[in-house]
Structure 1
Amino acid sequence: MGAHSRTAAVPVTRPSRPGPAGRDRYFDTLRALALIRVVTYHTFGWAWCGLVFPSMGVMFALAGTLMAKSLQRPAPKVLRSRLRRLLPPFWFWGFFVVLAMLVHGWMPGRQIVYWVVPLGDPPGDAWGEQAWEILWYLRTYLWFVLLSPLLLRVFRLAPVPVLLLSLAPVLVLAFVWSGPDGRLGSALWDLSTYLFCWLLGFAHRDGVLRRAGPVPVAVLSLAALGYGAWYAFGHQAEFGTYDLDENPLAQAFWSAGFVTPLMWAKARFRIDLAGLTRFRRLDRAVTVFNARAVTVYLWHEIALVLAVPLIDRLWDVPAFETYLPLDSQWFLFGVGWVLIAFFVLACGWVEDVAARAKPTLLPGGRAARMGG
């Protein structure tokens, strides 16, 4: 387009290079930070990571606003599209995980059906637990997607009351009824923990946050943060830590208080971080994280698991043993990211196929930047 529209008589100022069509760099950056935080937490296990950046709350809020946008189309079509984008990468990853567990002696039962559609936690053995334990997020996301047509209808009946009352289920589970055992109970807890964040995405999309004043947003956010922090630190003896991942009630309120200002600021000030495109490598990294979000999330634990025996082999090389910090968690972190990059290159194309797009080795190349 640009080269053909220029004439000698009418000078044209070249605009800054746009990001991928239809993408919001503010949301893309938050999603990239959330994924980095997830990998960091699973490497170092720092309990304070969730307080600094509650990545799951952020990711559910972003997914909620995108779901509300998508539901401008017929709901069955949207649900099919979401399932098509999610399940093939999950099946591809699950094939290798299930095969590895079978080789190591795992005997599956009827619950193996959850490896086809993860409406419940897929079964597995202790050997592969570090790989499959992260699937609670995909299961919760899938349920939110399936429930979204109903949730959006209820939300639009009374947006502010419904949003505020969305924290009630986790309070009920914490203080009144702890829910059923097994898969159903786990699903109810996770849905209740992140329901507010998902509906906050609806509130952003429908303009509810844009109309909210700064004072009530600040007061309610600080109240939620305060209660979440108090409950996390005040119940360390019960949970053994102040880690939000071990304390659903604290997670729900801290995430609500943290994510609300992020979404409100986006809506109120229309932050788009378009200037990020001036930093080519950083912009490309954000593009890759977003185009390969499912790949990074699914494969990062396997990358960290494989990094350990790989580093063990490096101890056999005297020069590496002398000059490399092989016993450092930071070195593990670095090797983990190298392996994550490998999985992005080797397996990320499945996300393109699932999206019915042309498979690419690494997203965000010249053709993508030019809108090709």
Structure 2
Amino acid sequence: MSVTIKDIARASGVSYSTVSKALNDSSLVKPETKRKVVETAKALGYTPNLSAKNLVSKKSRTIGLVWPSLDRVALTELVAKINNIVTEKNYFMILSVNAADHAVKMFESFQVDGILLFEGGIENQLPPLFSSSVPIITYGVARNGHPYPIVDVNHKAAISKAVEHLVSLGHKNIHYIGEDSHADKRQYQKWTGFQEAMNNAHLPVNQTDTKGLGWYDGYLAAQKVLGQESLPTALISGSYDISIGILRAVKERHLRIPEDLSLVSYDNIPQMASLETALTSVGVPIDSLAETMVESLLSLIETKDTAHSTKRLDPEIHIRKSTSIV
């Protein structure tokens, strides 16, 4: 039989209302009384009735996250960081890998307090006329007519930083390996960002479309690039996973990084520093990105204010051992 507040009141020798206030950390209860009540509750194995509390507060203290992929390391790391922060804020998180509109409708039926939506391909973008009764923050690319508040990373600036770094080391033959996808606007921003940066540097634009974001997509694309008669002196990769495929292709060709080929990777995650050759990387640090997404959603849940609808984060470059002077 579950322990109730009345049981705690009886065991600690205080009133029912005092127990209720103490367990809700009310300033109306003396610290020594509060401590006694909490210790008694723990000793009896008391578990708060969240359903009852939710009925009173009209909050589930749960957020939903619409996640586009189960197999990409950078996204997995980001979701793990988000979950840690959500837990620290005394919320719960539910994941869905369904198409965005179906996932949102499901979360509405679960009565979540808010939703984080990772935009990706078409299946992870809400239809233009879609409406939801639940506050939504999306992680994607800011654009006119977007109906929901959005957290955006300046992907073009990230790739520009990569190009500038390589040019400063004397590289002129730089090749971009990533996905040219109009459906996934984040990837398309990187693709066009490379073109703009190279044009600004008055250098030839060389790109290879991976047609996917997995490590094997990066491996196949790198095989094509490294099989050419004239090799680039530097590569820029569109993601951590793509970089893993590139590193495998480089190793099979008996080339060395950075002695034979410099490499800069998009995605600013801790794993970059722990590879056999630590990768120079560009992007918003994963901790900052996760914190911004969660804080933005919780603020929206509390205020319902969408006036400041876009937060655009500036990328950083972390220079490590995978790049050198040409």
TM-score category, normalised to shorter length: under 0.3
Q: Which has the higher contact order (CA 8 A, sep 6+)?
A: 1
More strand by share: 2
TM-score computed with the length of structure 1 as normaliser: 0.23
**Bigger Rg, which one:** 2
Structure (1 or 2) with the greater helix fraction: 1
Q: Which TM-score applies when normalising by structure 2?
A: 0.26
